[in-house]
Structure 1
Amino acid sequence: MKINSYNKRQMSRIYPRGNRVDSSNYMPQIFWNAGCQMVALNFQTPDLAMQLNQGKFEYNGNCGYLLKPEFMRRPERQFDPFSESPMDGVIAATCEVKIISGQFLSDRKVGTYVEVDMYGLPTDTIRKEFRTRVVPNNGLNPVYGDDAVFVFRKVVLPDLAVLRFAVYEDTGKLIGQRVLPLDGLQAGYRHISLRTEGNFPLSLPTLFCQVSLTTYVPEGLNDLVDALSDPRAFLSKEEQRMKQLASMGIDSSEIADVPSTGGGGNAKRVGGGGGGAGGGSSSGLGGTSGQLSGSIMSNISGSGETSNVSSNSTKKDEKKDDPKFDPISISLLQTDKMYQKLIKKQAKELEILQKRQEKDAVTMLRNHTLITDKLNTSHAKERSSTKRSVNK
């Protein structure tokens, strides 16, 4: 907490200790989480720390500068890098990565597998946990199957998180790797080109993946989020009953009393007219529209036959309301002014290209004829000189 507050108003530089005689590196992610501006590494050692550093700063074209997130720059915001809950104003994310296949990973028949790691805050860091199965004897185009789906359920701070894709041989030798910032990823199917251990681009090896990025939803609130995103799919039972009644021509305002429990044959009065003529012995809608028996209410709420009729009539009403569009034919499109204009432009360009090609062909034929004549003349001179020398 204190070093974060310090780095909001001061510059700090971190560098390897002098007793690192093997030129090893420390993990820079820890100091990036603390808001340190300059994190120096030993560039002569292409290890994991250097790969994270180069992958992170590759996001803006390797210009050497990245802007820290806003909450790490504003003095009134407090940031704890060891927090496990999302910050105010920062939306946690859920990342799902599916490794589908690899292309041109190796020119030898070796087994390969892929590891997917995430580095960020301590609560976001996941290492050596997600790994595909080994595809034996196929380094050209291995397919890792449908089980290679890795879900990072809760990413508290996506702005500081990075994903690392690493492809290994079955012996543990690194084939290629790639480090990508999470906030720079785009959802969908992606071909990820790989880099060497020193972060130099490999010409052919790629990974074919599917990336899915969504907002993090806490456990137990999925139904609520689905209801908010699509309210019509989560109508209450009472609203469904009202729709069924409306499809039968009964207005909900006419119902004076609705039974709270599914009773047997108690009659319920509808509307204001009609005295006591609608007794409990009624088993259907009577001649007057002002009465409705309890058995009818139970049938409306529980009978599958009535529900089917109501849903079918609702579907018919929805079909009536659907707009109808006349299909557009090809002949109609061909009469469009823009289409005619493009056709004329294409014909004009084709004519210009044909004239240019004919001109080039004539020029080339003339040049070839001149070259052929020169060769014939030189050959004739050499032949005559050879004859003269032989005759002498």
Structure 2
Amino acid sequence: MTGWMHGAQMIAFNMQGYGKSLWIMHGMFRSNGGCGFVQKPGFLMERGPHNEVFDPKVTLPVKKTLRVRVYLGDGWRLDFSHTHFDAFSPPDFYTKLYIIGVPADAAKRKTRIIEDDWGPIWGEEFKFPLTVPELALLRIEVREHDMSDKDDFGGQTCLPVSELRPGIRAVPLYDKKGEKLKSVRLLMQFRFV
């Protein structure tokens, strides 16, 4: 993201392991129908009236506010064994939402933990004011809360904000390797104000 925001034409990705960096790269290249080509916004290709270039560190006024409502999640019981998350009880899921982009837009939110439920219902809404929505990505990660150990991974996706369409959507989640989980979905609503 840093190279892209500063106008780099080509960027080499280290794809030797799986993790957040690769998930973000997958999300960025979901733009334009997932063909692998993402055209830069005009302000990254043009110079200003005094020959200045875009500076991602400059704080700009808010252009749009993205409102994200996380209604519920389902499908884990179909894609995972009944003891995958907890040996003796249903999982305790929560969702983390991140905005990745220029530093002024970076944000992190988290739903409450829904205990002992394979189909958690959150019904929570979050606001993300965006100064440069053209460069923003929405990263979504579901985790299973574990009191005695590290929280378990339940799925993730990364979506370009410029590609989000207002309305209620069933958002598929992916595993750590970026493979789509067969049944797991989040029911979410996206709005721009």
Normalised by the length of structure 2, the TM-score is: 0.86
Report how far residue 119 of structure 1 moved: 0.3
Q: Could you say which residue in structure 1 is the equivalent of 2:70? A: 99
What secondary structure does 1:199 align onto? coil
Report how far residue 75 of structure 1 moved: 3.1
What secondary structure does 1:31 align onto? helix
**CA–CA distance in structure 2, aligned partners of residues 198 and 59 of structure 1:** 19
Report how far residue 64 of structure 1 moved: 2.2
What secondary structure does 2:102 align onto? coil
Aligned partner of 1:33: which letter? M
Report how far residue 40 of structure 1 moved: 1.5
Question: Which of 12, 17, 28 does residue 40 from structure 1 map onto?
Answer: 12
**CA–CA distance in structure 2, aligned partners of residues 51 and 60 of structure 1:** 17
Report how far residue 126 of structure 1 moved: 1.0
Q: Which runs of 4+ in 1 moved over 6 A?
A: none
Report how far residue 63 of structure 1 moved: 2.6
**CA–CA distance in structure 1, aligned partners of residues 68 and 7 of structure 2:** 28
Per-residue displacement from partner, 1:186-234 (whole Å, max 9, x unpaired)? Answer: 11111101111111111100000111112xxxxxxxxxxxxxxxxxxxx
More strand by share: 2
Per-residue displacement from partner, 1:93-124 (whole Å, max 9, x unpaired)? Answer: 10011111001134432110000100000000
Report how far residue 137 of structure 1 moved: 1.3
Question: Which of 47, 54, 57 does residue 26 from structure 2 map onto?
Answer: 54
Aligned partner of 2:130: which letter? V
Q: Could you say which residue in structure 2 is the equivalent of 1:117? A: 98
**CA–CA distance in structure 1, aligned partners of residues 11 and 145 of structure 2:** 34
Where structure 2 has 5 or more consecutive residues not aligned to the other structure, the ranges are 83-89
Question: Which of 117, 125, 130 does residue 149 from structure 1 map onto?
Answer: 125
**CA–CA distance in structure 2, aligned partners of residues 190 and 62 of structure 1:** 18
Per-residue displacement from partner, 1:112-144 (whole Å, max 9, x unpaired)? Answer: 0000100000000113xx1111111112x1111
**CA–CA distance in structure 1, aligned partners of residues 18 and 154 of structure 2:** 14
Per-residue displacement from partner, 1:7-55 (whole Å, max 9, x unpaired)? Answer: xxxxxxxxxxxxxxxxxxxxxx111111112221221211101100011
Aligned partner of 1:101: which letter? L
**CA–CA distance in structure 1, aligned partners of residues 69 and 182 of structure 2:** 23
Report how far residue 61 of structure 1 moved: 3.5
More helix by share: 1
Matched, 1:164 2:164: no
Where structure 1 has 5 or more consecutive residues not aligned to the other structure, the ranges are 1-28, 215-392
Q: Could you say which residue in structure 2 is the equivalent of 1:287? A: none
Question: Which of 170, 177, 187 does residue 191 from structure 1 map onto?
Answer: 170
**CA–CA distance in structure 2, aligned partners of residues 56 and 101 of structure 1:** 25
Matched, 1:81 2:62: no
Aligned partner of 1:34: which letter? H
Aligned partner of 1:79: which letter? F
Asked whether the equivalents of residues 30 and 160 of structure 2 are also in contact (C-alpha less than 8 Å), the reply is: no
Structure 1 segment 196-345 matched on structure 2, within 5 A: 196-214=175-193
Q: Could you say which residue in structure 2 is the equivalent of 1:17? A: none
**CA–CA distance in structure 1, aligned partners of residues 175 and 101 of structure 2:** 22
Asked whether the equivalents of residues 60 and 131 of structure 2 are also in contact (C-alpha less than 8 Å), the reply is: yes
Kindly report the root-mean-square deviation, in angstroms, between the aligned alpha carbons of the 2 structures: 1.5
Report how far residue 169 of structure 1 moved: 0.8
Q: Could you say which residue in structure 2 is the equivalent of 1:387? A: none
**CA–CA distance in structure 2, aligned partners of residues 188 and 204 of structure 1:** 21
What secondary structure does 2:25 align onto? helix
Per-residue displacement from partner, 1:314-358 (whole Å, max 9, x unpaired)? Answer: xxxxxxxxxxxxxxxxxxxxxxxxxxxxxxxxxxxxxxxxxxxxx
